[in-house]
Amino acid sequence: MKTPVIQFGTSRFLQAHADLFLSEGTPAVAITVVQTSGDPARAGRLTALAASEGYPVRIRGRQDGRVVDEERRVTSVRRCLSMTDQYEDVQRVFVEEADYVLSNTGDSGYESKPEDKLAAFSPAMSFPAKLYHLLAARHAGGGRPLTILPMELIADNGKVLRGLVLAIAAANNAPAGLVRYIGEETTWASSLVDRIVSAPIEPAGAVAEPYALWAIERTPGLVVPSAHPAIRLVDDLREIETLKLHILNLGHTALVDMWTRRGAPAQAIVREFIAVPEVEAELGDIYRSEVLPAFGALGRGDEAAAYLATTLERFANPFLDHKLSDIAQSHAQKVQRRIVAFIELARAAGYEGDFPKLAAIVGRGGAA
């Protein structure tokens, strides 16, 4: 059995996102999943992910004005391995089978570790260091260059990961051929992923909203592993990032401001909070009078209006308990990134309209 995709990470997000898309896509693609953390508590999950009958993903929410509540089966995962206990097997699959590498190791996965300086592989290394050693083994084995598709929520994640792996190569005094193989011959594609995955299904599987996006930035040599409605090739990820950051995420931050002014009730969730008439009216006014006109000045008014309609459906998901107390974490920094940066973007485009409600949010909670 060959698996053209090797995936680093076992999260419920991946289970309801890339693993589902590659199971449903054209062609369907087989995956080897690799656990990078070494957490023994997840051993049962590894076994269940690769079960012959697959595992369930429950899609629940609203889409195009209708309620969606359905179950799908994911059968793309054919093998699960542990980086800690089965490194030789991981290396064999990486060298002999893989055409694509997927990763979602979290922001912490990119953080350097003391073990990164070791000449030989260690399970305690950062993900870029582990990837360097696997690429070195593939190069030594004569393997053709592959495509790496990081999915961590880091801007320009493909470029960032490439730079970190090349830095590891430099620290290891890697030969010029290996450096060229990593830096020039391997395809590194940045991507942006978006889907709210609200709960696990034990021992494997997840509950997710209907909305799903895996946007991959075009780069020379890139061929996506499968065709699926949620997989989109784009020329510039920043266009999608701008919509997500300054409509969906800006809306969340505006709701946190309203929630705080109403006493910050601990159990408040988004779908119930936006059903409060005063909240619905205030959020709608922010979008109509301040956000959409500014996007119009950016030449993206129609696109922003369509994205806003989808966003409001996602906020009202009747099956999703999205706590405002969770969204409120790091509120001041989020105000800067989501609201202040948006006002600056609009001004740079020549927009002269006012932002009274957004400016008031900045004044109340936007100190950096």
Residues 291-340 have pLDDT tens digits of 999 999 999 999 999 999 999 999 999 998 889 999 999 899 999 999 99
Which residues are registered as beta bridge partners of 149? 102
Distance (Å) of CA 364 to CA 141, 229, 345, 347: 59, 41, 21, 21
Looking at the fold, whether 157 and 289 belong to one and the same domain comes out as: no
Residue whose tokens read 């509950």: 207
- Domain containing residue 333: 238-366
Q: Residue 74: is its pLDDT beyond 80? A: yes
Same-domain check for residues 134 and 93: yes
Query: How far apart, in whole angstroms, are the C-alpha atoms of residue 205 and residue 49?
Result: 8
Q: In Å, what is the CA distance from 312 to each residue of 133, 213, 357?
A: 45, 16, 19
Domain co-membership, 54 together with 102: yes
CATH number at residue 257: 1.10.1040.10
Residue 207 burial by CB count (10 A; 0-12/13-18/19+): exposed, middle or buried? buried
DSSP assignment, residue 128?
H
In the DSSP assignment, the letter for residue 249 is: I
Residue 34 CA from chain centroid, whole number:
18
CA-closest candidate to residue 47, choices 195, 193, 202? 202
- In terms of domains, do 118 and 225 share one? yes
Task: Give the Cα separation of 101 and 191 in Å (integer).
Answer: 13
| Mean pLDDT of the 355-361 span | 97
Look at the chain and count its residues.
Answer: 368
Bridge-based pairing of strands 5-8 and 66-74 is: unpaired
Q: Are 144 and 131 within one domain?
A: yes
Question: In terms of domains, do 257 and 227 share one?
Answer: no
Report pLDDT digits (tens) over 157-173: 999 999 999 999 999 99
Cα 17–chain centre separation: 9
Residues 190 and 326 in one domain: no
pLDDT band at 107 (very low <50, low <70, confident <90, very high): low
Shared-domain flag, residues 163 and 244: no
The CATH code of the domain that includes 66 is: 3.40.50.720
Where b means 16+ CB within 10 Å and e means fewer, 169-184 reads beebebeeebbebbee
Q: Order the strands of the 55-63 sheet from edge to edge.
A: 66-74, 55-63, 206-208, 197-200
Residue with tokens 């609200």: 198
What would the mean pLDDT of 29-39 be, rounded to a whole number? 89
| Contact present, 274 and 316 (Cβ < 8 Å) | yes
Q: In this structure, are 244 and 327 located in the same domain? A: yes
Is pTM beyond 0.75? Reply is yes
Half-sphere exposure of 217 (CA within 13 A, CB side): 20
- Count of the separate structural domains present in the chain: 2
